[in-house]
Chains A and B, each alone.
Chain A
Amino acid sequence: MRDLYVDFGMINADNVEQLRKINQSCFPLTYADSFYGDMAKNKDEKLCKFAYCNGFAVGAICARVEPMPDRPGRNRIYIMTLGVLAAYRDRGIGSKLVTSVLDHFESEKDGKMSNVDEIMLHVQTSNTDAMKFYGEKFGFERGELVENYYKRIDPPHCYILRKKLR
């Protein structure tokens, strides 16, 4: 199928409710209000953004830079959420969102992100589509299993997907 033309736009306090709508529609779990509160305050439009198609926000990615627990002083990019409304899937929107974050890393590789080593996320063990998406398109590798990561959904376990960036 033909890819859809997509624009990116920032998430801010004025439109964060749209992120909530997208997430509610995409994910089986409900994010806490504090998540949206943080998103409303976020200033990093490179890591957190909407994908607009024909004027409507139809997908969003929210990522952040966080310290790596096992390697002091080194950081990683953590994808908190990536969602595209069901009706708009399989038309390249998710890929464009992930690519745009990876592109951002590339452009800041020796600058702001010089201490970033990898990009990672959690994925529910049953979510083979997502594992395929990240694995085949971007070369993410399946890491360790985290048991009982989720509280209210079944199965509660997840894998870590990660990709070395340097």
Chain B
Amino acid sequence: MISGASTSASASSGGGRSDDHSNGNPQAGQNRPLPKKESDLFKNVVKFYESKQYKKGLKNADAILKRFPNHGETLCMKGLIVNAMASALWGGEGAGNGGSGGGKEPVVDKKKEAVELVKRGLMMDMRSHVCWHVYGLLHRSSHNYAEAIKAYKQALRIDHDNLQILRDMGLLQIQMRDVAGFRETRLRILTLRPNSKVHWLTYAIALHIGGDPSSAASVLDSYMDTVSDDNINCDHNLNSIADFQRIFESSELALYKNMILSDMTTSNDNDKDGLKGIEKALNHLDAIHDIVVDKTGWLSARLSYQLHLGLFDSAEKTAIELFRRGSTEDHRIHGAYMCALLKCDGNTCREVLERSAGTCTLATLRPLSDEERAILINAYFGASTISASTSKTEDNEDSHITCNNNGISDSWGKSVTMLGGLASLFPMSVSIKRIRLTLLPPSSREFKLAIDTYCQQQIIKGVPSLGSDLSSLYLMEIRLKKPQCPSTSGSNNQEYIASEELTMTRYAVAKDPVDVKRNEVYRLLVHLVDSYIESLSCNNTFPDDVTAGELPHAPSTLLWAWYLRASLHEQAGEYSQGISLINKCIDHTPTAVDFYELKGRLLESGGDIQQAADVVDAGRDLDHQDRYINNQATKTLLRAGRIEEASRRISLFTRHEAPVEQNLYDMQCTWYELELADCLKMKGELGRSLRKYMAVIKHYEDFHEDQFDFHNYCIRKVTLRSYCKLLKFEDELWGLPHYCRAAEGVISIHLHLIDNISMSQTDEELDYSEMTPAQRKKAKNMARKKKNAMTSGGGGGDSSGGKDGVSSKNNSESNGNKKKSKPHIIDEDPEGKDLLALDHLQEAMKFAAILVRHAPKRISSWALQYDVSIRRCKMLLAMQALFKMKYIDSDDHRLFSRIVDFSKKMSSRINLGHDAPEQVISSEFPKLVNFLSLPDFVRMVVDRVKADSSSNLSKVIAVLRAMISTKVGSTAEASTLLLESQLNLRGLTLDTCREALALMKSIGSDKQNKDKMIELIISKFPFAKDL
């Protein structure tokens, strides 16, 4: 951007414009080359601007303006400098869009002055591309990219071939994902300067992301043709870093080309023609083998192509090659290897390759047949337990090394099984041992033996995460819609019938205590660990001890067995039993931080968050250097509503110069801000809560902004594959879970304010009606205290969050005046009053739109979209959201309660019947209620819930609420249904239980039933208070 001003400036002063020669005309200065002296001064202005010597630049500009007060380009440059100084003063960009307030005023004024100057300059010299360029730069600095692009385009109309402006515009276009425009701009740049590598690469990328991989490939080809061969094929003399860099670049370029080729695949992959690109890419891999230095990347690509093409034998060999290179701990490769062994279809392969998280492989993706298990077990562990002699392994090693580089010796595939499987080839691999647990059928004797050995080893070692590691073995079968089914929206009103052909069986990990307790592996583990504890406390050995000879065990062995049992209790929701075991652990070794953490978790899930916070905090006190436990303590304290304590804890690990909140904001500490926002929301401090949610939103905007730096950098460094990944990541940014949580928080607060208008006007009066008496009491106390504090000391009762400078991004280094003491940052709106003053519906709508666009697979996105749409009286949009929800999960309680709501709203509206939306609604809505009347529909769901002994508590609550409101059933029936469930339901949390209790109260259940309910809740949540 800086050198742009310089080139254009010199062009303008040298180029000379002949429109106006008269010096006497006051308008003259603008369009005419400056005299020599001033022209030199102008060059200096540009130079000083570039080197950030703003004061000197300003001085020079003023010198020109003294003689030519209306010289447009100088005015513009002055404006640009003033703007840069304002940004530096504030310490970052972004000051222009953050609202106004006390500490910011000088900056805002400066920014205004800058805009005035540039605008005036532009008016004086509308035909100068410099002016337009500066105008664009100004917009860019305030993140107004669309306007900036317009200004650049204007500048380019005057100076067609200005490279710098083209480059600046290209940057903005790719940032804004104006892919077509970007392609055009880069083509023009390439035409102007075809001798630069960067321009070729960028144009190829522009074509590639523009969805035209074949043109991209040919552009790369044309470029490579121009490069002499010795540039590519000389890995002999690596003398300098530059040589390494060059070799790396050719390697990356070749792999990028390969990636493009593989993208030349038509959408329908089952069609053989559709795989042509992949075939080409596979062949291309062989051609580039010698120049590629990222061998693992090369092999991974090869593996993936071979799988897609159904070349399973070669894929198998490639996988083994990868293992030999050291990828034995990568479960993704194991998944691919299994796919090759079992000759899986393309979609399964893709699923396996895309599911890269944790210990997932094919074996945890879907149930395996006995035959399939046998094949895999044979490949991994051999038919029998023949232990491989070391000499034999070494022989193979040699033969491998001598075999040529891309042909993997054929003996490999066979030798694996001969030697007793992968396990004997890679005896050190932990993953292979872990995979064994997923291959053996849980009911088999071998599985029991394997898991016994695995647990004993980990317990002896003392692995705190063993419980959660094992929990991923609790697999249960579920039916899913096949991915290739049209992912149609509700708007085309397809009835989704889960028929056999459209669904597939997949594994899901059981997480809910109801499912966990039923799980075979879980039951086995419970039995196993109980026997460990008995045997260890009796004679300090395991029942079938695998460590023969190494006895007796260290005292910590029994300790970790207890700990594992406590973890198992936690998974099954047995909090009291868990606590009594973890207390044993703490008595045994009171210095171990892990135990306090688990105890805290058990207390929290069991209903006593206050004590949980105390316990985790006590654990934290044991080791002040343990950042993890410090964060856990902070989090638990926040959940307990103890904001000030939490702030003190987290501040132990922040820098001490800045205020804590400011520092955490600068570090983009999202988890903390989300927890704090949740906590504030719970307390009814909606303004402050909103502010924290918005801080997270801002972080994500910053993440998006951050990609700016990479557009140039990645191409210069030729890290093109990573660059493509980055672009993809940035495109999916707004669908990431933390962003969704923040956006959902923002929407929920705005919706709450819409429904409780009085709140935003009066001094934050809380909605007490939705609270339980205890919460109400607490909230009222809080409100009273707050009021007192306000009247006595001007908000002095609130010291923790008082200084959070959310909109004040502190990016001092970039402005080079770090040493200067910054003006003390005063948050102009700690209470979030500005945010509360926004149009709630407008804001909620904005964020709901982002969510449904970027996180369309989250059912909550559509639930909120419904909530917003229904309040806007957009019935069609609301109904569409319902269909979307139904497509995601037709059984969800949020869907059910909204269908009921929608139906009621429909019937209460005056239906004119002839406008199109109304017609669509009346013809489509019946599909949501199974073509029944609302009462009949509710009755149907009530009966379904009754029949299902372990449905979801939230669902039961929603159903009962609807049952009462539609007068389908009686209070007695509702109470009976709740009590008869014994609360052996899914989705059981203390909060949902409280909700159930509140429902009973609101529908007027008698005291006896309520007491029974409380008793039930206590049996599930033994530490719950104030029910």
Determine, out of B224-232, B620-628, B696-704, B781-789, the stretch whose residues face the partner at the interface: B620-628
Closest to A24 in B: B590
Determine whether A15 belongs to the interface, using a CB cutoff of 8 Å to chain B: yes
Q: Are A57 and B591 in contact (CB under 8 A)?
A: yes
Give how many A-B residue pairs fall within 8 Å (CB-CB). 52
Determine whether A87 belongs to the interface, using a CB cutoff of 8 Å to chain B: yes
Closest to A60 in B: B591
Q: Are B552 and A58 in contact (CB under 8 A)?
A: no
Most chain B CB within 10 A, of A22, A24, A56, A87, is at A56
Q: Are B555 and A22 in contact (CB under 8 A)?
A: no
Q: Which residues of A contact B592 (CB under 8 A)?
A: 56
Q: What are 29 of the A-B contact pairs (CB < 8 Å)?
A: A4-B554, A13-B624, A14-B623, A14-B624, A14-B625, A15-B623, A15-B624, A17-B622, A17-B623, A18-B591, A18-B622, A18-B623, A21-B591, A21-B622, A24-B590, A25-B587, A25-B590, A53-B554, A53-B555, A54-B554, A56-B591, A56-B592, A58-B589, A58-B591, A85-B588, A85-B590, A87-B555, A87-B559, A87-B589
CA distance A21 to B623 in the complex (A): 12
Q: A4-B554, A25-B587 are in contact. List 20 more A-B contacts (CB 8 A).
A: A14-B625, A15-B622, A17-B621, A18-B622, A18-B623, A21-B591, A21-B622, A22-B590, A24-B590, A25-B590, A53-B555, A53-B556, A54-B556, A56-B556, A58-B555, A58-B589, A58-B591, A85-B588, A85-B589, A88-B555
CA distance A14 to B588 in the complex (A): 22
Q: Which residues of A contact B552 (CB under 8 A)?
A: 1-2
Interfacial residues of chain A within 6-54, with CB under 8 A of chain B in the complex: 13-15, 17-18, 21-22, 24-25, 53-54
Closest to A2 in B: B552
- Bitwise interface map of A from 132 to 153 toward B, beta carbon under 8 Å scored 1, else 0: 0000000000000000000000
Q: How far is the CB of B563 from chain A (nearest CB, A)?
A: 12
**With A1-B552, A4-B554, A87-B555 in contact, is A56–B589 under 8 Å at CB?**
yes
Closest to A86 in B: B588
- Bitwise interface map of A from 39 to 80 toward B, beta carbon under 8 Å scored 1, else 0: 000000000000001111110000000000000000000000
Q: How far is the CB of B796 from chain A (nearest CB, A)?
A: 31
Q: Are B462 and A55 in contact (CB under 8 A)?
A: yes
CA distance A58 to B462 in the complex (A): 15
Closest to B587 in A: A25
Q: How far is the CB of B459 from chain A (nearest CB, A)?
A: 11
Q: Which residues of A contact B625 (CB under 8 A)?
A: 14-15
Closest to A1 in B: B552
Q: Which residues of B contact A1 (CB under 8 A)?
A: 552
Q: How far is the CB of A100 from chain B (nearest CB, A)?
A: 19
Say which size band chain B's interface belongs to.
Answer: 10 to 19
Q: How far is the CB of B8 from chain A (nearest CB, A)?
A: 58
Q: Are B622 and A54 in contact (CB under 8 A)?
A: no
Q: Which residues of A contact B587 (CB under 8 A)?
A: 25
CA distance A17 to B554 in the complex (A): 24
CA distance A56 to B621 in the complex (A): 15
Question: Is chain B's binding surface mostly helix, strand, loop or mixed?
Answer: loop
Q: Are B588 and A87 in contact (CB under 8 A)?
A: yes
CA distance A22 to B554 in the complex (A): 18
Q: Which residues of B contact A4 (CB under 8 A)?
A: 554-555
Q: Are B591 and A54 in contact (CB under 8 A)?
A: no
CA distance A55 to B594 in the complex (A): 11
Most chain B CB within 10 A, of A21, A54, A55, is at A54
CA distance A133 to B589 in the complex (A): 23
CA distance A57 to B588 in the complex (A): 12
B462 contacts which of A2, A21, A54, A87 (Cβ < 8 Å)?
Answer: A54
CA distance A58 to B556 in the complex (A): 10
Question: Is chain A's binding surface mostly helix, strand, loop or mixed?
Answer: mixed
- Bitwise interface map of B from 563 to 592 toward A, beta carbon under 8 Å scored 1, else 0: 000000000000000000000000111111
Closest to B540 in A: A1
Q: Which residues of B contact A87 (CB under 8 A)?
A: 555, 559, 588-589
Q: Which residues of A contact B591 (CB under 8 A)?
A: 18, 21-22, 56-58, 85
Q: Which residues of B contact A88 (CB under 8 A)?
A: 555
Q: Which residues of B contact A91 (CB under 8 A)?
A: 555
CA distance A79 to B556 in the complex (A): 27
Q: Are B624 and A21 in contact (CB under 8 A)?
A: no
The 8 closest A-B pairs by CB, nearest first: A14-B624, A21-B590, A18-B591, A87-B555, A57-B591, A54-B556, A17-B621, A56-B592
- Bitwise interface map of B from 455 to 480 toward A, beta carbon under 8 Å scored 1, else 0: 00000001000000000000000000
Closest to B550 in A: A2
Q: How far is the CB of B584 from chain A (nearest CB, A)?
A: 10
Q: Which residues of B contact A25 (CB under 8 A)?
A: 587, 590
Closest to B626 in A: A14
Closest to A59 in B: B591
CA distance A13 to B621 in the complex (A): 10
CA distance A57 to B622 in the complex (A): 11
Q: Which residues of A contact B589 (CB under 8 A)?
A: 56, 58, 85, 87
Interfacial residues of chain B within 601-630, with CB under 8 A of chain A in the complex: 621-625
Q: How far is the CB of B883 from chain A (nearest CB, A)?
A: 54
CA distance A57 to B623 in the complex (A): 11
CA distance A92 to B559 in the complex (A): 19
Q: How far is the CB of A93 from chain B (nearest CB, A)?
A: 10
CA distance A13 to B551 in the complex (A): 37
Q: Which residues of A contact B556 (CB under 8 A)?
A: 53-54, 56
Q: Which residues of B contact A24 (CB under 8 A)?
A: 590
CA distance A52 to B786 in the complex (A): 49
Q: How far is the CB of B4 from chain A (nearest CB, A)?
A: 53
Q: Which residues of B contact A15 (CB under 8 A)?
A: 622-625
Q: How far is the CB of B593 from chain A (nearest CB, A)?
A: 9
Closest to B556 in A: A54
- Bitwise interface map of B from 809 to 846 toward A, beta carbon under 8 Å scored 1, else 0: 00000000000000000000000000000000000000
CA distance A19 to B364 in the complex (A): 45
Q: Which residues of B contact A2 (CB under 8 A)?
A: 551-552
CA distance A91 to B625 in the complex (A): 29
Q: Which residues of B contact A17 (CB under 8 A)?
A: 621-623
- Bitwise interface map of B from 535 to 562 toward A, beta carbon under 8 Å scored 1, else 0: 0000000000000000110111001000
Q: How far is the CB of A66 from chain B (nearest CB, A)?
A: 28
CA distance A25 to B587 in the complex (A): 8
Q: Which residues of B contact A13 (CB under 8 A)?
A: 624
CA distance A13 to B559 in the complex (A): 27
Q: How far is the CB of A60 from chain B (nearest CB, A)?
A: 9
CA distance A164 to B102 in the complex (A): 74
Q: How far is the CB of B452 from chain A (nearest CB, A)?
A: 21
Closest to B461 in A: A54
Most chain A CB within 10 A, of B555, B556, B625, is at B555
CA distance A93 to B591 in the complex (A): 16
CA distance A88 to B588 in the complex (A): 9
Q: How far is the CB of B583 from chain A (nearest CB, A)?
A: 13
Q: How far is the CB of A97 from chain B (nearest CB, A)?
A: 15
Closest to B588 in A: A87
Q: Which residues of B contact A56 (CB under 8 A)?
A: 556, 589, 591-592
Q: Which residues of B contact A55 (CB under 8 A)?
A: 462
CA distance A140 to B623 in the complex (A): 35
Q: How far is the CB of A140 from chain B (nearest CB, A)?
A: 27
Q: How far is the CB of A28 from chain B (nearest CB, A)?
A: 16
Q: How far is the CB of B617 from chain A (nearest CB, A)?
A: 11
Q: Which residues of B contact A57 (CB under 8 A)?
A: 591
Q: How far is the CB of A62 from chain B (nearest CB, A)?
A: 15
Q: Which residues of A contact B588 (CB under 8 A)?
A: 85, 87
Q: Which residues of B contact A58 (CB under 8 A)?
A: 555, 589, 591
Q: How far is the CB of B867 from chain A (nearest CB, A)?
A: 48
Q: How far is the CB of B1007 from chain A (nearest CB, A)?
A: 46
Q: Which residues of A contact B551 (CB under 8 A)?
A: 2
CA distance A68 to B452 in the complex (A): 59
Q: How far is the CB of A12 from chain B (nearest CB, A)?
A: 9
Interfacial residues of chain A within 83-102, with CB under 8 A of chain B in the complex: 85, 87-88, 91
Closest to B592 in A: A56
CA distance A17 to B622 in the complex (A): 5
Most chain A CB within 10 A, of B551, B589, B591, B592, is at B591
